[in-house]
Structure 1
Amino acid sequence: MRRRRGGPRRRPDGERRAGRHDPPRLQVPRVHASQVRRAVKRLLALEPYYGGSHRAVLDGLVARIAPEWECDLLTLPARKWKWRMRGAAITMAAQARELHAAGARWDLVFASTFVNVAEFLGLAGEAVAGVPVVVYFHENQFLYPNRHTADWDFQFPLTNVTSALAADECWFNTRWNLDGLLAEVGPFFREFPDHRPEGVREAIAAKSRVLAPPFEAAAFDAAQPVRGERCRIVWPHRWEHDKRPEVFFATVATLASEGLDFEVAVAGQSFRETEGPMREAAEALGERLVHCDEPATREDYARLLASADVAVSTADNEFFGIAMLEACYAGCTPLVPDRLAYPELYPRTYRYVDDAELVSRLRALVLERPAPGAARTLAGAFTWDALLPQWLAALEGAASRR
């Protein structure tokens, strides 16, 4: 029997063969079950010191990574940071086990340096087994200026080291932060009486990168610069010893004694141990003091910065300095020390080398008020709009290690 040309044929197993007039079949590739992944990734974020820049960066990240990511956020109040470093891993590992038992599965763990990552991984066990871990270094304890040194202080830099070794990736907010930690690891291990670890610096360096922390610009975009009759100087920092508030007050007291016409706003988070001396020093300025408190809302904070001509840092400890960049974005001209992370972020024109130069530079700005917005472009490179693509790419890259 002759077959008709072009008609459908049947294979020996009885399945109909496609004819030339039939539409082409879709070619569906075979996918092994192990290749099937959730379309939406899930992040487990750990922040034992949920306040200040730690909170601001984490909240900004969580608000922006959807719909590509979901997030489980484990936090503790921003109190007693030393106790957080000692004990947060126990609390958060228990919470992670509970979430895992309820069905949570993660593609990435993101922890700040106040988590002892090695302890957390050991205690969380199966809940995070095989999940890549990123530790974000807002700071490192090697470079933190301690007022009192005791044997137990060595535990905190050691926690930074063990966390870095336990993590898959280490992200630092500045090159100064990263280089500072790497430079101190070797001398630190020479303090060991014996069995000094080798190759630690190289191991940490191989998994480390710099990724700047972005800030939320919306409130500052809504607060246009406003200038009063007198030059306004703002000091927008935590009220703690490492920010050297006494240097700031001595500087403005010197200018006041010269009869210069200016006013001062003091912002930032206050602490019980330092609030009394801070207020006493601020109130000594008399009618020049126009603000001395942490603003009630972010909008109030933005308006305060937008009302100032100059923002000053006198810090002896700064790994990045979001507050100063926010002040720049709000329209202030910055004056920062020529040390710490500042040379990495600010050109020489905004840096002073010592306290004497701070007095002379600030005097010149009071006598000839700067135009608002000179440093806004500098700060604009660190907004969430500018840096979000880098953060998303970094998260995807870290999660792909799984």
Structure 2
Amino acid sequence: MKILLLSAYDTDSHRSWCQGLMAHLPNIQWHYLSLPGRFFSWRIRGNPLSWALGKDKQVLQQDFDLILATSMVDLATLRGLVPNLAQIPAMMYFHENQFAYPKSDQQHTSVEPQMVNLYSALSAQRVLFNSQYNRDSFLLGADKLLKRLPDEVPPGIIQSIEEKSRVLPVPIKAHVAASKVSSHHETLTVIWNHRWEYDKGPELLKAVVDLVESQSLDIEFIIAGLSFRNVPPALQQLQEKHPRCIAHIGTYAQKSEYQLALDNSQVVLSTAHHEFQGLAMLEAAARGCIPLAPDRLAYPEWVPKACLYKNGSMDKQAANIVAKLKHWQQHGLPTPVPVERYFWPSLIGQYLKEFNDLLD
């Protein structure tokens, strides 16, 4: 089998998924084309130009059995510019979708990214999503967009995408976690391990830290994750004030240091406004951390009810989070969450089946 693997916005998570597929399916002949994960507005519209008319244009003229494209690929335009690709079965894999992203002050309001997602899904013969939440929010968002359009919208568009869509999670590396025994009244270590961006809820994190500090609770925080040049104000304030309860704040220089921090933490916390699967949380859970996440987004698909906090205003959510942490610190942790079904060995067979089914 010969597969053209396309990653138009090759961030760490997309690249890791691509590399994982190639490593776990070595008998497939892979041709992997990627573009840097920067300049979002240009990349999501310009990737067909970069590939069809750029240095990789000869690669696209080869005979492939299957095209596998990530969610930022403008598949419809690429297949139009390279007629050879239009004859090859294509599969879209959505790590995320542009219909469910929360809007920031800096984000443009153009519907073009959503239309790229929509046209790509229509152009593909199979559409895969990493979670049920991702699939549902895509279909709902696309339906709302189509209802806003003034005229000449054909019927059955959403149904056609729904019928050829499946849910297949992004796998994570298998890990045998050491048992984490939490004695009553010991210091509880909580790690927050997300991108330092607005959609990961840094304001709620700060509210939680402030509440723990004001109550002098025996809880400490490790604030890790990938930081960028522009630091959200809430995280900047935590860096500057550095409350007593913060044991570490900043991106770890070495992956081994980050993994050690996970091993030394009892709880992994999410304050996200959006999450299509929750890889950072899953990876922490695989290393024995108890997840504490909002009762929304993709989290209810794998996080037990006892480890979800209620939605509401930021103050109410902060209070709910601190109440759970305080209870766990004083009375012991809940049972670890099994995530073996998300390991590469558990999922890779399903990927291969999807490839074979599409070619049959």
TM-score (norm 2): 0.90
The question of 1:375 aligning with 2:329 is answered: no
Asked if structure 2 preserves the Cα contact closer than 8 Å seen for 1:279 and 1:292, the reply is no
Query: Post-superposition shift, 1:294?
Result: 2.5
Asked if structure 1 preserves the Cα contact closer than 8 Å seen for 2:142 and 2:158, the reply is yes
Alignment of 1:215-254 (within 5 A): 215-217=172-174, 220-221=175-176, 230-254=187-211
Q: 2:297 aligns with which of 295, 317, 340?
A: 340
The CA deviation string for residues 77-107 of structure 1, in whole angstroms up to 9 with x for no partner, is 2223332212112112335531145xx4211
The question of 1:208 aligning with 2:169 is answered: no
Cross-structure match for 1:117: 75
Greater shift in the superposed pair: 156-165 or 89-98: 89-98
State the SS of the aligned residue for 1:111. strand
Cross-structure match for 1:258: 215
Amino acid in structure 2 at the alignment position of 1:322: L
Q: Distance in 2 between matches of 1:298 and 1:60?
A: 17
Q: 1:323 aligns with which of 263, 274, 280?
A: 280
Q: Distance in 2 between matches of 1:129 and 1:158?
A: 19
Asked if structure 1 preserves the Cα contact closer than 8 Å seen for 2:177 and 2:288, the reply is no
Query: Post-superposition shift, 1:297?
Result: 3.7
Q: Distance in 2 between matches of 1:241 and 1:342?
A: 19
State the SS of the aligned residue for 1:324. helix
Amino acid in structure 2 at the alignment position of 1:179: D
Asked if structure 2 preserves the Cα contact closer than 8 Å seen for 1:85 and 1:116, the reply is yes
Amino acid in structure 2 at the alignment position of 1:109: I
Alignment of 1:89-100 (within 5 A): 89-94=48-53, 95-100=55-60
Cross-structure match for 1:310: 267
Q: Distance in 1 between matches of 2:349 and 2:15?
A: 20
Cross-structure match for 1:60: 20
Query: Post-superposition shift, 1:57?
Result: 1.4
Unaligned runs of 5+ in 2: 312-316
The CA deviation string for residues 44-71 of structure 1, in whole angstroms up to 9 with x for no partner, is 111122123212211111111112x011
Q: 2:94 aligns with which of 137, 155, 173?
A: 137
Amino acid in structure 2 at the alignment position of 1:339: R
Query: Post-superposition shift, 1:396?
Result: 1.8
What is the total number of aligned residue pairs between the two structures?
351
Structure number with higher relative contact order (C-alpha < 8 Å, ≥ 6 residues apart): 2
Query: Post-superposition shift, 1:225?
Result: 5.7
The question of 1:295 aligning with 2:249 is answered: no
Cross-structure match for 1:168: 125
Cross-structure match for 2:42: 83
Cα distance change on mapping 1:150 and 1:359 into 2, 3 Å: closer
Amino acid in structure 2 at the alignment position of 1:205: E
Cα distance change on mapping 1:395 and 1:375 into 2, 3 Å: farther
Q: Distance in 2 between matches of 1:140 and 1:333?
A: 27
Amino acid in structure 2 at the alignment position of 1:323: A
Cross-structure match for 1:271: 228
Asked if structure 1 preserves the Cα contact closer than 8 Å seen for 2:80 and 2:86, the reply is no
Q: Distance in 1 between matches of 2:107 and 2:272?
A: 23
Cross-structure match for 1:392: 352
Asked if structure 1 preserves the Cα contact closer than 8 Å seen for 2:303 and 2:337, the reply is no
Q: Distance in 1 between matches of 2:326 and 2:287?
A: 21
State the SS of the aligned residue for 1:47. strand
Asked if structure 2 preserves the Cα contact closer than 8 Å seen for 1:185 and 1:200, the reply is no
Asked if structure 2 preserves the Cα contact closer than 8 Å seen for 1:140 and 1:160, the reply is yes
Asked if structure 2 preserves the Cα contact closer than 8 Å seen for 1:265 and 1:290, the reply is yes
Q: 2:63 aligns with which of 96, 102, 105?
A: 105
Asked if structure 2 preserves the Cα contact closer than 8 Å seen for 1:310 and 1:334, the reply is yes
Query: Post-superposition shift, 1:148?
Result: 4.2
Cross-structure match for 1:185: 142
Quote the sequence identity (%): 34
Asked if structure 2 preserves the Cα contact closer than 8 Å seen for 1:48 and 1:77, the reply is yes
Amino acid in structure 2 at the alignment position of 1:375: P
Cross-structure match for 1:70: 29
Q: Distance in 2 between matches of 1:78 and 1:224?
A: 37
Cross-structure match for 2:314: none
Query: Post-superposition shift, 1:205?
Result: 0.8
Amino acid in structure 2 at the alignment position of 1:256: E
Cα distance change on mapping 1:77 and 1:368 into 2, 3 Å: farther
Cα distance change on mapping 1:71 and 1:227 into 2, 3 Å: farther
State the SS of the aligned residue for 2:3. strand
The question of 1:353 aligning with 2:316 is answered: no
Q: Distance in 2 between matches of 1:395 and 1:226?
A: 42
TM-score (norm 1): 0.81
Asked if structure 2 preserves the Cα contact closer than 8 Å seen for 1:338 and 1:351, the reply is yes
Cα distance change on mapping 1:187 and 1:230 into 2, 3 Å: same
Amino acid in structure 1 at the alignment position of 2:59: L
The CA deviation string for residues 243-287 of structure 1, in whole angstroms up to 9 with x for no partner, is 111101211210111111222111111122226652432443434
Amino acid in structure 1 at the alignment position of 2:355: L
Unaligned runs of 5+ in 1: 1-40
Asked if structure 2 preserves the Cα contact closer than 8 Å seen for 1:170 and 1:207, the reply is yes
